[in-house]
Amino acid sequence: MSLPNQAEFVIIGAGIHGLSTAWRLAENLTAAGESIEGRIVIIDKADQIAAGATGIACGVVRNNYFQPAMRKLMAHSVSVWESDPEAFSYHANGYMQISCESMREDVKQIHAEQQAIGYESVFIEGEEESREYMLNMFDDWQAQGITSVLHEKPGGYANNVKAMEGLSKKVLDLGVTIVLDTEVTGFVSAGEGQRVTAVETSSGTIECDKLVIGAGPWVRDFWTMLGLPSQIELKDLDGNVHENVDMWVFWQLEEGVLEIPPETLVTNDGKVPPVLHVDTDAPLYSVVDGSLITDQLWGIYYKPDWGFGGIQGGAAPWKVPTPVDEVAIDPYGPASTEFVASKEFPEMWVSALAHCHKRFEGMMDKYHKEPSGGIGCMTADSFPVIDTYNENVTIIADSNHGYKMLGVGCLVAEELMGEKQELLEPFRFSRFKEGKLHPVSNSPYPWS
């Protein structure tokens, strides 16, 4: 579809945030009896929807967060996934956090606060009790040193591309315009920090009243276009002020696929299991040569996935060393994958699977290299920033929490219609200077 000359709402990014924002905007306008035609336009530089981070996301939907604000935000998003599981290709199998002693108190607190907001979960603690719980689910469970299990009954995973096809159908059926193969090249405004009046693209210029940027790992580039600061002042939880802190940090997200029948990983009663996440400090030994891979805290997550055609999952990410300009311009292009790919990941991940389940022993040759993971653009504290700048520009910087946050675009849409959303307040940009940061857990993951 060609680019129109003007629209009330212009949305950059045809991934999960752009599509969900447009969906709820269109629903609200339709419910109010207003016409949608020509009012909402989504722009994406790719030739198809969900071509970036959304399209290769592992699709896990969980509420396993140590941070109360994240937990409330995710509970809302889970409810959105549950609103139409067929359209969203959503599998409500649940989610399990399986942890060693150093994380027990953190996970116990997560469980207590999940109960406080009515999010159903079961918490098992004690080494023998945890082992028994896991053996009741998998008779070949063999992970050592596990002292707690948090079993979230809601949550699960969605098939990434199919879910977005379902969401885009909702958007198109409501009359939203999606313009692909169109790259944003700049913005027109009255001056520095002033209202954006138009978006310049490779297909021409489109005037707008309100602009939404939901560009995943490319957010840093749009942030720069708007003249926003690359370094910020940050007050930590102890009240210490830090100057010239990088606003954006890039992490390599380690994910892969074990190319075996997905039904290899079913429970003792033949059912599809919850998504499994294991964090442990038990020594991890290689399935290739028996050597020690690590005796430090490590973590993996995995699930049977018929969309990926095997057992899909990942491990804790690692920070991409600076400079990253040549990578960050196209975080999901072929060159970026080669630039930062970890040669150690396949052996570590398959060894970790075998550490947890006997059924995965001797399967190193089944590892399949496939586009998954990629580079994530994290904020200064690794949590989302969702705020309005230059008077009329809303930026959804998801800090790699993106795919599971289906509800964020819906909340942003409500704010665009004039209703401030309490769930988004803890994610404003001002928190850095005000010292209202989110608490940090003992997890090996920067976003947990």
Q: How do the pLDDT tens digits run along the chain, 448 residues long? A: 799 999 999 999 999 999 999 999 999 999 999 999 899 999 999 999 888 877 777 788 888 888 889 989 999 999 999 999 999 999 999 999 999 999 999 999 999 999 998 999 999 999 999 999 999 999 999 999 999 999 999 999 998 889 999 999 999 999 999 999 999 999 999 877 799 999 999 999 999 999 999 998 899 999 999 999 999 999 998 999 999 999 998 887 788 899 999 999 999 999 999 999 999 999 999 999 999 999 999 999 999 999 889 999 988 777 776 544 444 445 444 334 343 445 588 999 999 999 999 999 999 999 987 656 667 888 999 999 999 999 999 999 998 887 889 999 999 999 999 999 999 999 999 999 999 999 887 777 666 6
- What domains appear along the chain, each with residue ranges and CATH number? 1-92+155-239+383-448 (3.50.50.60), 95-153+249-378 (3.30.9.10)
Number of H helices, E strands in the chain: 12, 24
Q: Is 447 left (phi over 0), alpha (psi -120 to 50) or beta?
A: alpha
Whether omega for the bond prior to residue 323 falls within 30 degrees of 0, making it cis, is: yes
Phi, psi angles (nearest 5°) of residue 437: -80, 165
Distance of CA 246 to the CA centre of its chain: 21
Question: Is the Cβ–Cβ distance between 66 and 35 less than 8 Å?
Answer: no
Q: Which structure tokens are listed for 101?
A: 């002693």
Question: Is the Cβ–Cβ distance between 301 and 308 less than 8 Å?
Answer: no
CA 228, CA 18: separation in Å to the nearest integer?
21
CA 159, CA 161: separation in Å to the nearest integer?
6
Report the DSSP pairing between strands 241-246 and 231-235: antiparallel
Q: What is the pTM of this model?
A: 0.90
Question: Is the Cβ–Cβ distance between 15 and 160 less than 8 Å?
Answer: no
CA 269, CA 305: separation in Å to the nearest integer?
18
What angle do helix axes 16-31 and 406-416 make, rounded to 10 degrees?
Answer: 50
